[in-house]
Amino acid sequence: MSKRSPLPPPPAPDMRINRERMVRDQIEGRGIRDPNVLQAMLAVKRHLFVTEALYALAYEDGAVPIGHGQTISQPYIVALMSELLEAGPGMRALEVGTGSGYQAAVLAAMGLTVFSVERIRDLFLATRELLQCLSVRNVHMKLDDGTLGMPEAAPFDRIIVTAGGPSVPPPLLEQLDDPGILVIPVGEQRRMQRLVRVIKDNGKMYKENKGEVVFVDLIGLHAW
């Protein structure tokens, strides 16, 4: 008698209704208007970037742990930072802190080519495999100190940093194209930051404070 093949695992739920509610209530409801951001947040299946046990929390109004002391940011914060980039299809973006890969996937869905740096090896390997399995294109990952940027791929039209440090790492400012926009949480105390947007234009830097936020620590040569 031949051995019966195991049944394939059931497909992951789509949860589109959850995403629609998330976009309507948490994102549009708080003033995010960029249609490219809204469409990307609706398209990317956020629950696939957390463990199956945490699917139910994926679309709630808060950050979700992903292991290694890291989190997937609150949906509104992902949308806000994406909108602050004022990014469009065809742009090149550097992401410091790949984490779960969700922010990178959102930027890729917006039509950007993303160069993402992650310092935690196990997280880097798991996220790279996940993005490949999900057929997320236009995301190029590197295992390294993100505060050094990715000079071999610079300059970048946009730079986004998904962890908080005491100041803006100088290498990132150097790798930001002119004109260009950088968004980063900055704070002199850990887990207490303000969201800062840096605009580079005609050789000058302009900084804007976009409100208080709480992010995990930015670790590296030019951070904590």
pLDDT at residue 9 in the model: 53
Q: How confident is the prediction along the chain (224 residues), in pLDDT tens digits per residue?
A: 444 445 555 566 789 999 999 999 999 999 999 999 999 999 999 999 999 999 989 999 999 999 999 999 999 999 999 999 999 999 999 999 999 999 999 999 999 999 999 999 999 999 999 999 999 989 999 999 999 999 999 999 999 999 999 999 999 999 999 999 999 999 988 878 999 999 999 999 999 999 999 999 999 999 99
Where would I find the H helices in 134-192? 170-175
* Nearest-angstrom CA–CA distance, 36 and 112: 11
* Nearest-angstrom CA–CA distance, 78 and 167: 20
pLDDT at residue 7 in the model: 54
Cα angle 103-212-154, degrees, rounded to a multiple of 5: 40
Active-site residue identified among 5, 73, 100, 116: 73
Q: Domains in the chain, ordered, with CATH?
A: 62-213 (3.40.50.150)
Amino acid at 117: V
Please, which residues bridge with residue 113 across strands? 92
Could you tell me the pTM of the whole model?
A: 0.93
Is 73 annotated in the active site? yes
